[in-house]
Amino acid sequence: MARLKYKSLSLKSKIELIKDVENGVKRKDIAAKFQIAKSTLSTIYKSKERYLSGINNVANLASIKRFSQGRNPDIDQAVADFIIEARSKNIPLTGEIIKEKAIRFGKIMNIDNFAGSSGWFSRFRKRQGLKWRCLTGDAAEADGSVAIEWIENYLKPILGQYDPNDIFNGDETGIFYRCFPGKSMVFKNDACKNGKRSKDRITVMLCCNMTGSQKIRPLVIGHAENPRCFKHIRSLPVDYCWNKKAWMTSKIFETWITEMDTKFQKENRKVIFFFDNCSAHPKDIQTKLCAITLHFFPPNLTSILQPMDRGIIRSLKVHYRNDIVVKLIDDMENNLKATKISVLDCINNISKIWETKVTPSIIQNCFGKAGFQDCEFDEISMIGSDGDKNFEKLASFPTGFNITDSLLNFDMYVGIDDNLETSAFITDEEIVGNIQKHKENDFEIQEECILDKTIEKVNSKDAKDSIITLLNYLEQTENVPEILFSYINEFRSFLNC
């Protein structure tokens, strides 16, 4: 038999080959399809983990045939981490900036004779699949072809190994939790006085599975260890931690994800979590996890690929903003002075909305539009199928004659904190430290809040009286869902009343 001519397959072909093997196609037929020897096929398949994990940051699989580390792989890794971090913050990068960074990393690592030349940059670009792109402000103009390629060659082979209930996505969002609308309908000669918009912020981590059957308790990150509103509070409906910036940090993320891993181990489950690429989500945490496998979206494509960004976070913010305005109106109608929204108020609202308003159908819709399910790859409304029906109702608070203006104003109000930073920009020294695994994180975290006391203390009699009052209210109200009576009964059992 004539010896086959040597053929070098692209990474795209290698991934397709691996998929064929896992789908049960005969190896003889696969070898004939790609015109390679069976031994070559076996060699490629044995290295499937390296290929599948390595394409996460590769932009063009068809033009790349192998993963090359270069002469200074530590510098390459540091520069790649810097590019991922910079693009996650939408910072534009030029070749000169990248070369200068590479030279600086070489000095920090004490690597002699590294010049960061144009030749190095040219080879680095090829290894990393870097391309020049015009920057735009519209997420819809992101490179959809690259996203589709990533979905077909990377995402779908992974999803086939897990039950949909075991596929999760998590992401952080910043919230100006005391911010009121900046526009209002007024009479012609009225002065428009409302004070400055509040910039008090928190960061919230939201995480759920693909079917919407499991929504992880929100993780809220605030500025203070013990806010005054937490006085007397010993249990919260969310996980709470803090640092001075109210940002997600690698230490907070590590604590949170390891706690999740422990829970899934107890349930004897193997799950997969998808996150965006940023310094607050360090990849080396994977070595500490048993039940959870971490995967990361390619840089600068999370607006297309991440389900949370396809409408889940937006849905929560729509309802949160609406609840703030409804509370303002209720206070006005009851002749009450508008009360200042506390961190505790915010936490309770977020928990309620996450549990009751962000429905499984919204979550499924957003996962589908992100490519996790078979459906057309197009733009999604920012709320989802359930949210769309109520959007005009939620947006009607400006009470003007022009519904388009009302919707626009409400949409701007909902998205006022969409670009709020949720993590710090990692320094060059920290990038190098992470690679060398010597640097420790300096951020403080409170793993569980055993908090001092702030609202007036409530005794058991007051709690029992409140439950009876609530029960009387439900009995006097029409069309009460049966589940609410079940909750009341659980409370009564807990309080022995």
135 has a pLDDT exceeding 80: no
483 has a pLDDT exceeding 90: no
The model's pLDDT over 413-472, given as tens digits with 9 standing for 90+, comes to 787 787 777 877 677 777 777 676 533 443 333 333 333 334 677 888 888 888 889 888
Give 46 or 33, the one with higher predicted confidence: 33
The model's pLDDT over 270-322, given as tens digits with 9 standing for 90+, comes to 999 999 988 889 888 998 999 999 999 987 788 889 999 999 999 999 999 88
Residue 67 pLDDT: 55
Q: Which of 388, 417, 446 corresponds to the end of one domain?
A: 417
Instruction: Identify whether 394 is part of a domain.
Output: yes
Instruction: Identify whether 179 is part of a domain.
Output: yes
Mean pLDDT score, 378-404: 39
Residue 312 pLDDT: 96
Range of the domain at 241: 164-184+197-417
| Same domain assignment for residues 368 and 236 | yes
| Same domain assignment for residues 40 and 173 | no
| Same domain assignment for residues 322 and 467 | no
| Same domain assignment for residues 399 and 464 | no
Contacts of 241 (CB under 8 A, 6+ apart): 219, 220, 221, 222, 252, 255, 445, 446, 447, 449
Determine the Cα–Cα distance for residues 123 and 119; give it in Å rounded to an integer.
Answer: 6
| Same domain assignment for residues 400 and 307 | yes
Q: Which of 196, 203, 207 is nearest to 175 (CA)?
A: 203
Give the global pTM: 0.65
Burial of 129 (0-12, 13-18, 19+ CB in 10 A): middle
Instruction: Identify whether 103 is part of a domain.
Output: no
The model's pLDDT over 313-367, given as tens digits with 9 standing for 90+, comes to 999 999 998 888 888 777 777 777 767 899 999 999 999 999 999 999 999 999 9
Query: Of the segments 126-135, 214-223, 396-405, which one has the largest average pLDDT value?
Result: 214-223
Q: Which of 417, 451, 473 corresponds to the end of one domain?
A: 417
Into how many domains does the chain fold? 3
Determine the Cα–Cα distance for residues 202 and 73; give it in Å rounded to an integer.
Answer: 38
CATH number of the domain to which 244 belongs:
3.30.420.10
| Same domain assignment for residues 394 and 480 | no
229 has a pLDDT exceeding 90: yes
3-state secondary structure 291-310: CEEEEECCCCCHHHHCHHHH
Instruction: Identify whether 95 is part of a domain.
Output: no
| Same domain assignment for residues 384 and 486 | no
Band of the pLDDT at 54, cuts 50, 70, 90?
low
Q: Are 197 and 176 in contact (CB under 8 A)?
A: yes
% of the chain surpassing 90 pLDDT: 31
Token couple for 187: 């009479």
Instruction: Identify whether 309 is part of a domain.
Output: yes
The model's pLDDT over 162-217, given as tens digits with 9 standing for 90+, comes to 999 999 999 999 999 988 775 444 344 444 444 445 678 999 999 999 999 999 99
Conformation bin of residue 449: beta by default, left when phi > 0, alpha when psi is -120 to 50: beta
Residue 368 pLDDT: 93
Instruction: Identify whether 154 is part of a domain.
Output: no
Band of the pLDDT at 5, cuts 50, 70, 90?
low
| Same domain assignment for residues 395 and 473 | no
| Same domain assignment for residues 32 and 176 | no
234 has a pLDDT exceeding 70: yes
| Same domain assignment for residues 409 and 475 | no
Instruction: Identify whether 355 is part of a domain.
Output: yes
Instruction: Identify whether 102 is part of a domain.
Output: no
Band of the pLDDT at 152, cuts 50, 70, 90?
confident
| Same domain assignment for residues 299 and 385 | yes
| Same domain assignment for residues 270 and 413 | yes
Residue 88 pLDDT: 66
Determine the Cα–Cα distance for residues 91 and 76; give it in Å rounded to an integer.
Answer: 19
